[in-house]
Amino acid sequence: MASVAAGDQAPLWFMVLVAVGLHAAVMWAGTFLAWLRRAFFRPGKDLGRRYGEWAMVTGATDGIGRGMALERARRGLHVVLVGRNPGKLSAVSKEVRAAAPACKVRTVVFDLAAGDDAEMSRGVARVEAAVEGLDVGLLVNNAGATYPCAAYFHEVPDAVWEAVLRVNVDAATRISRAVVPAMAAKGRGAVVNVGSGSSVVLPAFPLYAVYAATKA
């Protein structure tokens, strides 16, 4: 077995292994410290001052979107709620105001899965009109679409995978485009894209290929 005697120069392969190990340790430590800062130490209690007075949440009528809207309101932000169901939007608006009476709420009825390009354009125009003049500092692209059940790529109906692309890619990009220029002009703001564990499964996520790709 090869060994390194005192005073002898370490072989090249040993130095390479040490360098690789040190690099991995430093990268891991950096990632951990960055997470620690984000989770516990980064100043973020006053979101309005840090980002802007308003937050926009898509898919705000159920689940994560509803929770995001309520939490942003509790943290002192006003909210713009985007959803396709007027009744649910009204219900969540009332819930937000009850949780945070000082919160101002605007709603935008927009079916992000609309298959008509003209309707997509009209929906984006309604978003632009809703945020005009507002200090929107946070955009939460939460709305998402997936398959109703697992299926091989060639078995997924056209209407299903097309809706996945429209909601997860097209609509999210267009809505971001509607609000990011104002963020850039004032030099602050944040876009939160709600992801999925399917996007990090390698080499692929079986039976949900299009959905996983859009989330990645």
- Per-residue pLDDT tens digits for 182-201: 999 999 999 999 989 888 88
Give me the chain's average pLDDT, please: 90
Quote the domain boundaries for residue 25. Answer: 9-42
Instruction: Give yes or no for residue 1 having a pLDDT over 50.
Output: no
Of the listed 51, 147, 208, 211, which one is catalytic?
Answer: 211
Is residue 2 domain-resident? no
What the block records as the tokens of 118 is: 């003209």
Are 115 and 172 in the same domain? yes
What pLDDT score does 14 carry?
87
Q: CB-side exposure of 62: number of CA atoms within 13 Å?
A: 8
| pTM for the full predicted model | 0.79
Q: How many domains does the chain have?
A: 2
Least confident of 10-14, 104-108, 206-210: 10-14
28 and 124 in a common domain: no
Shared domain check, 108 and 19: no
> How do residues 41-90 score in pLDDT, each as one tens digit?
765 668 888 899 999 999 999 999 999 999 999 999 999 999 999 999 99
Establish whether 147 is a catalytic residue: no
Asked if pLDDT for residue 104 goes beyond 70, the answer is yes
Are 38 and 55 in a shared domain?
no
Tell whether 24 and 126 lie within a shared domain.
no
pLDDT above 70 coverage of the chain, percent:
94
**Does residue 3 fall inside a structural domain?**
no
Tokens of 122: 């009209």
Which whole number is the average pLDDT over 157-186?
A: 95
Q: Which residues contact 190 (CB under 8 A, 6 or more apart)?
A: 51, 137, 138, 139, 183
Name the one residue in this structure whose structure tokens are 């564990």: 197
What's the pLDDT at 145?
94
pLDDT at 164: 96
